Amino acid sequence: MDRLQDSAWQYVAEVLRPEDLPMLAAHALVDGHDSPALRELAGLPRRSDATEVRELYVQALSELDVALPDEETAGRRLLMSLAFGLVHGALIPKEVGDGLPTTVTARTQEETQFLSVAAEYSEWIEPDDLPAWERELQAAAKLLAASTDLGPGIRVPAPRHD
């Protein structure tokens, strides 16, 4: 899956911030995609009006025949991304707990298990309980990563530090 297609689920799952979209558009141009809206988006400054940026991004996707997934699919892809990120060492358990979407609908037993364990994280978790939770989350992430066909091509989003 290429960067632009991958960004569509990240956009719907609200992982991509508007200020990141002009650079994404510039990379998409380098990757060989081209459309009027994509060129315009790539030329915008990082701190452009968020509404304008979003509109241009959606228009560029439309011009390039890249469909935006529904919220359920985007949420499930985010779950996969978090699991793959944890399994491959790109994320730590705390980042998974912090990045957990609140509106994801799990479809499989493995998704449900991962979501359930990840949801147990909070900043108030007892320090003595943290290692057990991390091991359980790692195990659930490995099961989920091994059980899905949604994983190939999923890029792990960088943790948000708002």
Mean pLDDT computed over 89-96: 91
pLDDT tier at 15 (50, 70, 90 boundaries)? confident
Q: pTM here?
A: 0.80
Give the list of residues 6+ apart from residue 141 with CB closer than 8 angstroms, or none: 82, 83, 84, 86, 87, 96, 114
Predicted local distance difference test score (pLDDT) of residue 43:
96
User: What would the pLDDT profile of 55-70 be if each residue is shown by its tens digit?
Assistant: 999 999 999 999 999 9
